[in-house]
Amino acid sequence: MRTPSCPPRPRAAPLLHLIALVAVLGAAPLLSGPGAHASGPAVVAPLSVSALAAAMAEYDRNAQLPLPRLTDAQRTALIRGEVVRVLDQPGGDPDEPRRATGLRVIPAPRDVVWVACQDPHYVQSGEVTEVRVEFAPPDRSRWYGMLDLPRPFADRHWLVDVTNNHSLAASTGNRAWEHPWRLRAGGEAELGGLIAAGRLAKIPPEAVAEAVWTPVNHGAWLVIALDPEHTLLGYHATSVVGGSIPEGLITRFVHATLGGMLEAVAERALHKVRAHYVAGHKAVIGGDGRPVGHFGG
C-alpha cells in the first residue's frame, strides 16, 4: 500500500528503507568482520589499535546505546579504512532481537562526517513516509513513520523519540556525538489522539488503522573524532517489524547492506559536503545541540 510522501529525515529511515527491500529480495548471506564493500585507502588513520579502543571505550561510558565489543583484528581493519560489521545481542540474551552495527573510519573532520549523515538533503526513501508530530528545540523530536511494503505484506508503522545525546558530547569534550532513536513506549495507543489533533493529516486514517505496529525499533548514528582529520562513523539498529516477516531475515539483510550505506556517507563527506553545506543552507544541529558551522565551499 502506498502512502502520501513527505520529506524524509536522516535518522531511522535508512534501516526502514532496507526493510522494504528485504520483503522483495529475501535473505542475504550472513557476513561478519570487515566489510566486503570496503574501498577506503590502505591506511586512513595514524592510530594505534589501543588508541582506537580507548576512544570507543570513552564513547561507551557515556552513550545511551553502547557499541559492540570489537577484536583487535576488527580495530585494525577500521584503521585500514575498511567497513566493519557486527551482529550482536547487547543484553546477551539469545531470545532478544539482534542488533546490526556498521563502523567506518573516514579521513575527514567530525563536523563534515556528521553533516554527511544528518543532512536531510542526502536521504531519499520513497517507501517511508515520516511526519514530525512534536518538536522541542534544539533537537528533540517525535516522529510517526509508515513503511510501505509490497503486497501481500501489511504496511508497518511506529512512533519514535529522537534526540542528540548532549551529555555524551559534554563528557567527551565534544569528541563523540550520538543521535539515538527509540520506539515510544505506549506509542500505538497515542495514534488516535494524533489523528484527532490533525498531526497525521498527510496519512489517511484507514492506512494507520490497517498498518502493523513495529514492536522493536531503536538505534543510533554516531561519530567519534579520533584526531582533527579522522572520524569514526557508526550506525546501528535493532528492529522487529512484526507480523509474518521474521526478525532474523531483516537483521541479516541490514547487516549485509551496511557497507554500502557507510561508503555512501564517506563519499559525501570526502567529495560533496564542503561544497554543499555553505552559507544559506539550513543549519544542521550537532550532537551537542548547537548548529554546525557552515563550510567555506
Band of residue 20 on the pLDDT scale cut at 50, 70, 90: very low
Going by C-beta distance under 8 Å and a sequence separation of 6 or more, which residues neighbour residue 294?
Answer: 277, 278, 279, 281, 283
Per-residue pLDDT reduced to its tens digit, 108-159: 999 999 999 999 888 655 678 889 999 999 999 999 999 888 888 889 999 9
How much of the chain, in percent, has pLDDT values that exceed 70?
79
* Mean pLDDT to the nearest integer, 249-271: 82
| pLDDT score recorded for residue 21 | 38
pLDDT tens for 280-293 read 999 999 999 999 99
pLDDT at 26: 32
**Cell 522483495, residue?**
24
Residues in CB range of 123: below 8 A, 6 or more apart: 8, 9, 10, 13, 14
Q: Please tell me the predicted confidence (pLDDT) of residue 240.
A: 82
Please determine, for residue 62, whether its predicted confidence score (pLDDT) is greater than 60: yes
Amino acid identity for residue 227 in this structure: D
Per-residue confidence (pLDDT) for residue 130, from 0 to 100 = 87
Torsion of CA 249, 254, 260, 266, to 10 degrees: 180
Instruction: Specify whether the CB–CB gap between 2 and 131 falls below 8 A.
Output: no
Mean pLDDT of all residues in 41-63: 85
Buried b (16+ CB within 10 A) or exposed e, 121-136: ebbebebbbbbebeee
Is residue 244 pLDDT above 70, yes or no? no
Q: Give mean pLDDT, residues 34-48.
A: 54
Nearest to 239 by CA among 149, 120, 158: 158
Q: Across residues 203-209, what is the average pLDDT?
A: 95
Helix/strand number for the chain, H first, E second: 9, 10
Mean pLDDT estimate for the chain? 83
Overall pTM > 0.75: yes
CB atoms within 10 A of CB 170: 12
Q: Has residue 29 got a pLDDT over 50?
A: no
CATH architecture of 13-276: 2-Layer Sandwich (3.30)
pLDDT at 161: 97
pLDDT at 44: 59
Higher pLDDT, residue 47 or 181? 181
Q: Categorize the per-residue pLDDT at 42 as very low, low, confident or very high, splitting at 50, 70 and 90.
A: very low
Mean pLDDT over residues 256-260, rounded? 80
Q: Cell 517525535 appears where? A: 142
How much is the pLDDT for 120?
A: 86
User: What does the chain come to in residues?
Assistant: 297
pLDDT of residue 263: 93
As a whole number, mean pLDDT of residues 72-89 equals 93
Please say if the pLDDT value at position 78 is more than 60.
yes
Single-letter amino acid code for the residue at 253? F
C-alpha torsion 123→129→133→137, nearest 10: 0
Segment 159-178, tens digit of pLDDT: 999 999 999 999 999 999 99
